[in-house]
Amino acid sequence: MIKIENLTKIYTHPQTKEKIVALQNVNLEIKSGEIFGIIGPSGAGKSTFIRCLNLLEKPTSGSVWIDGEDITKLSGQQLREKRKQIGMIFQHFNLMSSRTVWQNVAYPMEIAGVDKKTIAQRVEELLELVGLNDKAQVYPAQLSGGQKQRVGIARALANNPKLLLCDEATSALDPQTTKSILQLLLEINRKLKITIILITHEMAVIREICDRVAVINESNIVEINSVLSVFTSPQANITKEFAANGGENFPIETVKLKPGERLYKLSFVGESAEKPIISSAIKKLGIEVNILYANIDRLKDIPFGTLIITVGGSPQQIEQTEQFFTQQGLKMEVLADAGIAR
Ligand SMILES: Nc1ncnc2c1ncn2[C@@H]1O[C@H](COP(=O)(O)OP(=O)(O)OP(=O)(O)O)[C@@H](O)[C@H]1O
Ligand SMILES: [Mg+2]
């Protein structure tokens, strides 16, 4: 549905005329109905990227195809039409302070020349969807951050877009409110079949609702993968930093292994996260296990966990254990080895 080809954006500093390369030859395809995350450190080019998707920022070169149309080639009027299919929400909500919630949500429809009756109906529907019916006549200053973003979402959906762009939409919110806004976005994606592109610098946001993710660093995309793969086998160094789930900082050097013991890091995903694999291994193979670190999270609906354990036994038992873990679908990494037991 969306295809970005060789997208480059170079800014020119207004005074010094210095060139700033914000995006360099970026290529990406996003499928219809996906929730696609873009993560990267500050200054990587994330906002520039998302703003090029609705031409709030004009690309220096390259194409942005949306539903078979290269939007960089559209004329003013065609572009205004196309933009109705693209909603956007922002970190600081960008609501109009002199308009009520109701009037803020109505605004894009007024601009688009929608008749009053349809506007009234649609505003009611949207406020219902985001859970703000009781705040219709209130001004933005009287709302909490989470409520403001709900208004932002309702406004972005006003003209029935096919695509919703979110630039750090939860970065100004506390973790609890972040969760509720992300759940609302997930609901919108599923109910209304809207494709969502979401920019963030927080992996927790990606983990919560995204299907796939692109990692952007220093103006380039360095990795594109499913969220699951990004967590279980991150490729680029920057991805490894983002995907760290606690186990990375485990102080391996403090573990005193006894002869014959090995130290493992195990990652488990989906079904295998729910099976009692460790206790089965102990019963079946007679090994000794010590759990040093355990963490379980969710990737959207899928459980995902990390364990750091020592396993003690004869060389044969150790070998069987490793086979068993692999058969059970665990990803296994040997962190340290105390050699053969005597
Ligand atoms: N209007 C502009 N004029 C000149 N340089 C700009 C402009 N907008 C962004 N830049 C520069 O382009 C680079 C990418 O900026 P961008 O805002 O896309 O980063 P970002 O990944 O969104 O960062 P953050 O996480 O801090 O929001 C930065 O070096 C930034 O200083
Ligand atoms: Mg930004």
What pLDDT does 342 receive? 39
Tell me the CA–centroid distance for residue 43 and ligand 2, in Å.
7
Per-residue model confidence as pLDDT tens digits over 107-147 = 999 999 999 999 999 999 999 999 999 999 999 999 999 99
What pLDDT does 275 receive? 80
Whether 50 lines ligand 1, by a CB cut-off of 6 Å, is no
Tell me the CA–centroid distance for residue 236 and ligand 1, in Å.
22
Rg, C-alpha atoms of the chain: 25
Per-residue model confidence as pLDDT tens digits over 217-240 = 999 999 999 998 888 888 999 998
pTM above 0.85, yes or no: yes
- What fold, for 2-243? Rossmann fold (3.40.50)
- 31's tokens: 């499928």
What pLDDT does 104 receive? 98
What pLDDT does 38 receive? 97
Contact between 259 and 338 under an 8 Å Cβ cutoff? The reply is yes
- 26's tokens: 């970026």
Q: Which ligand is nearest to the CA of 43?
A: 1
Q: Using CB atoms within 10 A of its CB, is residue 16 exposed (0-12), middle (13-18) or buried (19+)?
A: exposed
What pLDDT does 245 receive? 65
Contact between 262 and 309 under an 8 Å Cβ cutoff? The reply is no
- What fold, for 247-337? Alpha-Beta Plaits (3.30.70)
What pLDDT does 341 receive? 47
Whether 215 lines ligand 1, by a CB cut-off of 6 Å, is no
Per-residue model confidence as pLDDT tens digits over 28-69 = 999 999 999 999 999 999 999 999 999 999 999 999 999 999
Tell me the CA–centroid distance for residue 42 and ligand 2, in Å.
7
Q: Where exactly are the structural domains of the chain?
A: 2-243, 247-337
Per-residue model confidence as pLDDT tens digits over 165-203 = 999 999 999 999 999 999 999 999 999 999 999 999 999
